Amino acid sequence: IERHLASLDFEPEVVIASYHGIPKPYSDKGDPYQAHCLETTRLLREKLSWDEKKLITTFQSRFGAQEWLQPYTDVTVEKLAKEGVKSIAIVNPGFSVDCIETLDEIGREAAETFHHAGGGNFAHIPCLNDSDEGMAVIEALVRRELSGWV
């Protein structure tokens, strides 16, 4: 995250930690996913020395009619732009590798939403697969987990 932000020609006013959403009833029935996401954001804030205004949590990829975890990423991106925020970045801490939900839904759709609502600078911070260090972490986890099976 720090390396990618340092490569930008702007400093985001707000960084969004966007996690894949789940239907709200799952969380209401005790699924700990939302708590895990919020704890991940808290740990990122601590590591990066950011406050709750600089790094916020949202949830993406909802579909169907039922309510999903909120705040929704797309709604938040539009709201920030309409409130006058001119530069944002989005990171997807819950995704280990980039996929259609990070590259298209965030990298393209969220950027379009932000710009259309009056926002300016937008950056999508790539997932772990974008760096040698990130791939080393993934490899170490896989090797550790396979060590008892292979």
| DSSP letter for each residue of 12-26 | -SEEEEEEE--BHHH
Mean pLDDT of 40-61: 98
pLDDT in tens, 136-145: 999 999 999 9
The predicted model scores a pTM of: 0.93
Q: For residues 76 and 15, what is the distance between their CA atoms, to the nearest angstrom?
A: 11
pLDDT in tens, 86-102: 999 999 999 999 999 99
**Over the range 41-60, which residues count as b (16 or more CB within 10 Å of their CB) and which as e?**
beebbeeeeeeeeebbbbbb
Q: Residue 150's pLDDT is what?
A: 60
Closest-CA residue to 127 (of 143, 105, 148): 105
Q: Which domains does the chain have, with CATH numbers?
A: 2-146 (3.40.50.1400)
Categorize the per-residue pLDDT at 146 as very low, low, confident or very high, splitting at 50, 70 and 90. Answer: very high
Strand runs (DSSP E) across the chain, as ranges? 14-20, 55-60, 87-91, 121-125
Mean pLDDT of 52-75: 97
Preceding amide of 71 cis, omega within 30: yes
Q: Residue 91's pLDDT is what?
A: 98
Spacing of C-alpha 22 from chain mean position: 14
Cβ within 8 Å of residue 114, ≥6 positions away:
77, 78, 80, 81, 88, 122
Mean pLDDT of 38-43: 99
**In degrees, to the nearest 5, what angle opens at C-alpha 100 toward C-alphas 24 and 144?**
80
pLDDT in tens, 3-18: 999 999 999 999 999 9
How far apart, in Å, do the first and last CA atoms of the chain sit? 34
Q: Is a pLDDT exceeding 70 seen at residue 80? A: yes
Mean pLDDT for all residues in the chain: 96
Q: For residues 150 and 58, what is the distance between their CA atoms, to the nearest angstrom?
A: 38
Q: Residue 32's pLDDT is what?
A: 98
Q: Is a pLDDT exceeding 90 seen at residue 148? A: no
Mean pLDDT of 38-44: 99
